[in-house]
Amino acid sequence: MPGLRTVIYKVSDLEKAKDWYRHAFQTSPYFDQPFYVGFNIGGYELGLDPNEKPGAVKGDNAVAYWDVAD
């Protein structure tokens, strides 16, 4: 079914963000590497990308991926 599939947040502190989401959703990541951390939240992926750029503009730190019908 078409809809939201993945949201990836760019973070400046991967360990701190991972701990926050782990406690917020009471689940551990299914993928945990220094370059990306992924959580399965109700069948959707919540990803953490540690490549936030210094001085990044607020609101420019997330990317959403949608499933659409061809």
- Gap between the Cα atoms of 52 and 41, Å rounded: 22
The number of beta carbons lying within 10 Å of the beta carbon of residue 46 is 19
Q: Give the residues across from 64 on adjacent strands.
A: 7
* pLDDT > 90 fraction of the chain, expressed in percent and rounded: 64
Q: Does 57 have pLDDT greater than 80? A: no
What 8-state DSSP symbol labels residue 59? T
Domain range summary for the chain, segments of one domain joined by +: 3-54+61-67
Q: What is the pTM of this model?
A: 0.82
pLDDT digits (tens, 9 = 90+) for 5-51: 999 999 989 999 999 999 999 999 999 999 999 999 999 999 999 98
Distance of CA 56 to the CA centre of its chain: 17
Q: Which fold has domain 3-54+61-67?
A: 2,3-Dihydroxybiphenyl 1,2-Dioxygenase; domain 1 (3.10.180)
